Amino acid sequence: MISGVVDVAVVGGGPAGLAAAIKAKESGLEKVVIIERGGYLGGLLKQCIHNGFGLFYFREDLTGPEYARRFIDKAHDLGVEVMLGSMVVKMRPDRSMVVSSKEGLSCLLPKATVLAMGCRERSRESLSIPGTRPAGIFTAGTAQRYVNVEGFIPGKEVVILGSGDVGMIMARRLTLEGVAVRAVVEVLPYVGGLIRNEVQCLHDFDIPLWLEHTVTAVHGVERVEAVTVARVDRNWKPIAGTERTIACDTLLISAGLIPENELSRLAGVALDPVTGGAEIDENMETSVAGIFSGGNCVHVNDLVDNVTWEGEAAGRSAAACAGGRKRAEKGRIKLKAGRNVSYVVPQTITWGEEATLSIRVKEPAEQVRLRVGDIPVRAVRAVKPSEMIKFLLSGKEWAKLGGEIDELSITCDSRRD
């Protein structure tokens, strides 16, 4: 059992946590520990047996388990300590934490902490879908684990609510297993996942995609027998008279992800009401000094490559903090989401420091220009809410911004404006 003072404690052993621990250890720290509540490292990558991982980070096309294995092996080779089957049950603003495992309770006193708890799926209950409560309703991620890890096919006729990436990937996966995917139903007028998944998982397999529709009722007593689907208006309200019933025995929910931040709240970390994740600065440090955060518990990323890079940034910064570096308290600038921008991460940056910004737009648009304040930083052919945009705020842009300011607005404007 690990207890007492450690240099860096990383909560979560998924891709962000592994990357953070590796970078912290590579910085020369002696005691870096990963605390993982599951029985293995790698997080959900174990059940993602499809390819498409590592295209940017490794410039190779890997499956989820292959991608995870590279980081797991590296963490072990570096001597990162691992606590599996261990859950942080209490965390305080001074970074002290209580960890529960089969060996009992232990107390850790990290010099710096990285929060990398990932995210969870929205359930049927969070979507308030009326109807009975029969068997046959799963989140897409649960179905993915059943099929890819446990070898269990959840149903024979499936409707998928939501066009998130996991939902579209499962539409293809189930089709390959001989399951009839009756429809993928999406409330928005565009898909909620990557374009490549829309093409490769739906169009290539002739799976029906119903945009601007939602499931309004579930039918069945012991098992799902059918669902009612209706078209929605601009306010996502079902339009009377557009209902249709689809016979099926399974409903998968793929309607978004929620960053896991219960521990962040316990530690007093400020959360962004839009992302649901911690408010961070350019060094991935939260509002509580010495506590850093990275990956999907900050904001939901499209690609594991981005999750890894964020984890690495958090690990490097945590290592510097453990070594005695203090956060700059002067020259802090608040970043604000402006026209057609839903959110900006990080939420605060230090004047003059290079920073990688991540944004999501509110509405799809073509031929746009991203601006920081009045300074154009990037021209983009097309943008959509489901695909995150990353760009570097460099010294060149800082020079154009002029004197010190307290707030900067990030906007996405038409190039014609």
pTM of the model as a whole: 0.94
pLDDT of residue 316: 98
Task: Determine the Cα–Cα distance for residues 280 and 169; give it in Å rounded to an integer.
Answer: 31
What would the mean pLDDT of 76-103 be, rounded to a whole number? 96
Nearest CA-CA partner of 16 in 224, 311, 395, 216? 311
Q: What H or E segment, with its residue span, contains residue 66?
A: helix 64-78
Give the confidence band of 416 by pLDDT, cuts at 50, 70, 90.
Answer: low
364: Cβ contacts below 8 Å, ≥ 6 apart: 190, 382, 383, 384, 385
Residue 236 region, left (φ>0) first, then alpha (ψ -120 to 50), else beta? left
DSSP letters, 164-214, are -HHHHHHHHHHHHTT-EEEEEEESSSS-SS-HHHIIIIIGGGT--EEETEE
Asked whether residue 394 carries a pLDDT value surpassing 80, the answer given is: yes
Task: Determine the Cα–Cα distance for residues 293 and 279; give it in Å rounded to an integer.
Answer: 9
Nearest CA-CA partner of 278 in 258, 304, 306, 297? 297
- 3-state SS of the chain: helix, strand, coil percent to 5? 25, 35, 40
pLDDT of residue 2: 76
DSSP β-ladder status, 355-361 and 341-345: antiparallel
Asked whether residue 403 carries a pLDDT value surpassing 80, the answer given is: no
What would the mean pLDDT of 398-413 be, rounded to a whole number? 87
pLDDT of residue 120: 94
Task: Determine the Cα–Cα distance for residues 277 and 259; give it in Å rounded to an integer.
Answer: 6
pLDDT of residue 327: 83
What's at 25, amino acid-wise? K
Q: What are phi and psi of 28, to 5 degrees?
A: 105, 5
N-terminal to C-terminal alpha carbon distance within the chain: 61
Structure confidence by residue, pLDDT tens digits, 33-49: 999 999 999 999 999 99
181: Cβ contacts below 8 Å, ≥ 6 apart: 158, 159, 160, 171, 174, 175, 207
pLDDT of residue 404: 72
Top pLDDT among 132 and 324 is at 324
Asked whether residue 101 carries a pLDDT value surpassing 70, the answer given is: yes
Number of H helices, E strands in the chain: 9, 25
Q: Answer for the pair 410, 340: CB distance below 8 angstroms, yes or no.
A: no
DSSP letters, 347-404, are SEEETT--EEEEEEESS-EEEEEEEETTEEEEEEEEE-TTS-EEEEE-HHHHHHH-S-
Give the confidence band of 127 by pLDDT, cuts at 50, 70, 90.
Answer: confident
DSSP β-ladder status, 250-253 and 137-139: parallel
What would the mean pLDDT of 293-303 be, rounded to a whole number? 96
DSSP β-ladder status, 137-139 and 81-83: unpaired
pLDDT of residue 124: 84
User: In 242-294, which residue ranges form alpha helices assigned H by DSSP?
Assistant: 262-266
- Domains within the chain, CATH numbers bracketed: 4-120+258-322 (3.50.50.60), 123-255 (3.50.50.60), 332-414 (no CATH)
Structure confidence by residue, pLDDT tens digits, 184-210: 999 999 999 999 999 999 999 999 999
Range scoring the smallest mean pLDDT among 71-85, 115-129, 248-262, 330-344: 115-129
Asked whether residue 280 carries a pLDDT value surpassing 80, the answer given is: yes
pLDDT of residue 232: 97
Structure confidence by residue, pLDDT tens digits, 136-167: 999 999 999 999 999 999 999 999 999 999 99
CB environment 363-392: b (16+ within 10 A), e (fewer): ebeeebbbbbbebebeebeebbebebbebe
pLDDT of residue 1: 62
Average pLDDT over the chain, rounded to an integer: 95
Structure confidence by residue, pLDDT tens digits, 211-245: 999 999 999 999 999 999 999 999 999 999 999 99
Instruction: Please list the residues that pair with 219 across neighbouring strands.
Output: 226
Residue 356 region, left (φ>0) first, then alpha (ψ -120 to 50), else beta? beta
